[in-house]
Structure 1
Amino acid sequence: MNTPPSPSGAERTGGPAVRIGALAPLTRPGWVEAGRHLLAGLELAVRDVNEAGGITGRPLALVVRDTAADPRRAAAAVDELARLGVAALAGEYHSVAARAAAARADALGLPFLCSSAVLDALTGHPTERVARLAPPQSRGWRIYADFLLREGHTRIAVAAEPSVYWASGTRLLRERFARRGGTVLELDMSALSPAAACDELAVDRATALLLLVGHPEPAVALVESVRRDRRLAEIMIGAPAGQPEFASWAASLGGDGTAIPFLRYLPERLGPLGARVETALRERLAEAPSFVAFEGYDTITVLADVLRSHGVERTRTAAPWPGVAVEGTRGWIRFSRVPGIGVRQWDGPPVQVVDRDPAEPDRFRILHTG
């Protein structure tokens, strides 16, 4: 999907638009719902920037490209957006697509602020051109592992599909559990049906099963199989990657989709800016906004500040991140170097472990913070 530049709020500004390239998964096999929320946040922030006067009097506009979670498509989109003269890149949800986009943006000298992808190795080497808002996977998944250990789970199973993202998550869990004498069983869902996975779980006697698989399938079928297997009545299901965050999860699974802890990146309480943006996002989406929508909004907020302070020429905005200090919807945003991470990283994104309340599936319960 290629869309023209967004005109949101542009009538209050003048001169040629300052264009930002926006990457998001808007068609399958990408996680379309995540892409829709990400784009809603990006577009709302563009509207707000333009209503506040734009970039030194010039309107801000998005040039949107659909990655469909495909690395080759993401890299090609970066090439196209660079030819179109965008001042910077924003967005992307899927780590494999974001990694390809980051590599190409770095090679072209194009600033890229990644909104949502968490894979630690977002680039193959350190760079000053790429920064990220979402916490690295190593931080979020270790917090999730600590939550499981605190709850008494020392023998867990992961139902995983082949992917560098899932493999990285499994490795992080193994390392964390090994330090506490725990074990991690891996179920290869490219070779097992949901029923066969249940058989493996019944034999292994794991107390928790983590869904390291795509949504809706095979995640939905696997949850349904586990919930209906009497041998597994006591097993906890978890989804560190956040599949239960979106409304489609509750629509597909109903009560079966509750009490499944997952990671999300919101504070316990939003401040005035976050609360105002939440209301506007809810109206735009016609449903409760996910943390991904807030990530999109914060991305444009940061880039607008960078463009105002550094100008819109790529050569001047190639390495702006150390000087950023911007109020976002989820706290003040500053970037630093994190050991082992090749990109500039927001050093304070909030991390929660939450689940859907069985008594009220549209309500989230905060179980753990980190």
Structure 2
Amino acid sequence: MPHAATPPIATRPDGSSVRVGVLAPLSRPGWDEAGRHLLAGLHLGVREVDAAGGIDGRPLELLVRDTAADPHRAEAAVDELAALGVAALAGEYHSVVARAAAARADALALPFLCSSAVLDDLTDGPTPWVARLCPPQSRGWRVYADLLLDAGHRRIAVAAQGSVYWAAGTRILRDQVGARGGTVDELDLSALAPSAVCDRLAARGATALLLLAGHPEPAVSLVRAVRGDARLAEVLIGAPAGQPEFSDWPWHLGGDGAAIPFLRYLPERLNPLGTRVGAELRARLGQAPSFVAFEGYDTALVLAAALRAGGADRARTAAAWPDVAVEGTRGRIRFTRTPGIGVWQWAGAPIQVADRDPEAPGRFRVLRAVPAN
């Protein structure tokens, strides 16, 4: 897929810029398209923050590090960026990577605004240093499970790889589905090829298969196998982690990638700011911006507000999280303490369940929307 060029961030020759470290997956096995969208939003937001006066007259300077979906690489990047004197960290998409980064930021007393990683247990316990824009996994995945249940699905299978993120998702689904009389059958992708997954689905009478698996593989191969199996013609394929959001999904699967519900974190209708930013992001990316691009833009606005309040001092910036109130592209952003969540959380982030239209796979259909609040 084509990559849009990322413009450099202007810095002053006297070194008076406010440095911010950015973590993003920009190479495989990371989801590099998510990383590019995150950076596009961040760069646009920073450009506008600087045009409005920056941080007390000082421009923002982004120091970007590629995590490549590797937690150890992220930890090393946090150490490096802290030593370079960044005022704060931002970004990341992969939950397991963001968890490693958050733990290191907490240990180093470095503010970290997590843009797009949903794992509930982003830290082992409460921390004043970390805030998060996207909703926690438990909130979004319960909305997703209710959509399936309301559509009559009571026998649900998950094809899962081994990771903390997928295991957490399976537990959320099992609790929510079980509470309404349904069952969740876990199929271990470390032991089952796509054809074997199809055999299990047919034998057990599952009506929905959820892809708790990496993209493009093994998710793409699983979709092809299920779509090509006549026994499974009525089985719904779902992808709560959002794989169909990005442009390479229909590139890999064509029409087979349509009608696969997934989670995204957008309102049903963007506000005027979101509409303007969406048009500019489309021009930068050369394609429709994903929800991750909007998260990137909102990250820049929120981080600027916290840095201004804290004078770019690390401790005072972290202390500003509960006082931040920013009108973002997807609603008004405020951070609170949410039961069971150790970080400062935007509890009212919007949630959608959407899919790609079988009649036009480049078009999305909103199946369920929970507005920002």
Contact 1:310 1:316 in 2 (8 A): yes
Q: Which residue of 1 aligns with 2:20?
A: 20
Deviations 1:254-307 (CA, angstroms, capped at 9, x unpaired): 000000000000001111110111011101100000000000110110010111
Matched, 1:8 2:9: yes
What is the aligned partner in structure 1 of residue 193 from structure 2?
A: 193
Aligned to 1:219: 219
Task: Tell me what 1:168 maps to.
Answer: 168
Please report how far the alpha carbon of residue 54 of structure 1 lies from its aligned counterpart in structure 2 after TM superposition: 1.1
Partner residue, 1:63:
63
User: Within 5 Å, which residues of 2 pair with 1:327-366?
Assistant: 327-366=327-366
Tell me the distance in 2 between the aligned counterparts of 1:356 and 1:37: 19
Report whether the alignment pairs 1:117 with 2:117: yes
Q: In 2, Cα distance between the equivalents of 1:292 and 1:249? A: 15
Aligned to 2:3: none
Residues 309, 316 of structure 2: 8 Å contact kept: no
Q: 1:10·1:51 contact (CA, 8 Å) conserved in 2?
A: no
Q: Which residue of 2 aligns with 1:148?
A: 148
- Contact map agreement 2:141 2:172 (CA 8 A) in 1: yes
Counterpart in 2 of 1:228?
228
Alpha-carbon distance in structure 1 between the residues aligned to 2:54 and 2:341: 32
Quick one: structure 1 residues 288 and 57, their matched pair in 2 at CA, closer, same or farther if it must change by over 3 Å? same
Report the equivalent of 2:305.
305
Q: In structure 1, what residue type is equivalent to 2:78? A: V
Cα distance, 1:9 vs structure 2: 5.7
What is the CA-CA distance between 1:316 and the residue it aligns to? 1.9
Distance apart, 1:319 and its partner CA: 2.2
**2:276 equivalent in structure 1:** 276
| Per-residue deviation, 1:7 | 4.3
Is 1:99 aligned to 2:117, yes or no?
A: no
- Measure the CA separation in 1 of the matches of 2:181 and 2:279: 45
Counterparts of 2:94 and 2:82 in 1: how far apart (Å)? 21
State the alpha-carbon separation in 1 of the partners of residues 172 and 348 from structure 2: 20
- What is the CA–CA distance in structure 1 between the aligned matches of 2:245 and 2:33, rounded to whole Å? 10
Q: Structure 1 unaligned segments of length 5 or more: list them.
A: none
Q: Is the 8 A contact 2:161 2:188 kept in 1?
A: yes
Structure 1 runs of 4+ aligned residues shifted over 6 Å read none
Q: Deviations over 1:209-241 (max 9, x none)?
A: 000000000000110010010000000000000
Matched, 1:178 2:184: no
- SS of the residue 1:364 aligns to: strand
- 2: CA distance, partners of 1:133 / 1:334: 9
Q: Distance in 1 between matches of 2:307 and 2:181?
A: 50
Give the Cα–Cα distance (whole angstroms) in 1 for the partners of residues 126 and 310 of structure 2. 22
Once residues 210 and 15 of structure 1 are traced to their aligned partners in structure 2, the CA distance between those partners, rounded to angstroms, is 50
Check whether the contact 1:8–1:50 (CA below 8 A) recurs between aligned residues: no
- Per the alignment, residue 132 of structure 1 pairs with 132
Q: Residue 18 of structure 2 contacts residue 312 of structure 2 at CA under 8 Å; is this kept in 1? A: yes
Is there any run of 5+ residues in structure 2 with no aligned partner, and where? 1-5
**What per-residue deviation string (whole Å, max 9, x for no partner) do you get for residues 35-54 of structure 1?**
11111111111111111221
1:184 partner letter? V
TM-score under structure 1 length normalisation: 0.97
Residue-pair matches, total: 365
SS in 2 for 1:80: helix
Equivalent-residue separation in structure 2 for 1:67 and 1:78 (angstroms): 10
Pairwise CA distance, 1:177: 1.0
- Counting only pairs closer than 5 Å after superposition, residues 39-78 of structure 1 correspond to structure 2 as 39-78=39-78
Deviation (angstroms), 1:117: 0.3
CA distance in 1, matches of 2:275, 2:368: 22
SS where residue 82 of structure 1 aligns?
helix
Secondary structure, aligned partner of 1:317: helix
In the superposition, the TM-score normalised over structure 2's length comes to 0.96
* DSSP 3-state at the match of 1:318: helix
Report the Cα distance in structure 1 between the residues aligned to 2:325 and 2:318, rounded to whole angstroms: 17
**Pairwise CA distance, 1:80:** 0.3
> Secondary structure of the equivalent of 1:93?
coil
Query: Is the Cα contact below 8 Å between 1:14 and 1:58 reproduced in 2?
Result: no
Which residue is 1:255 aligned to? Answer: 255
Q: Which residue identity is paired with 2:268?
A: E
Partner amino acid for 1:98? A
Q: Which amino acid aligns with 1:159?
A: A
Q: Is the 8 A contact 2:91 2:113 kept in 1?
A: yes
The amino acid that maps onto 1:8 is I
CA RMSD, Structure 1 to Structure 2 (Å): 1.4
Measure how far apart 1:320 and its partner are: 1.5
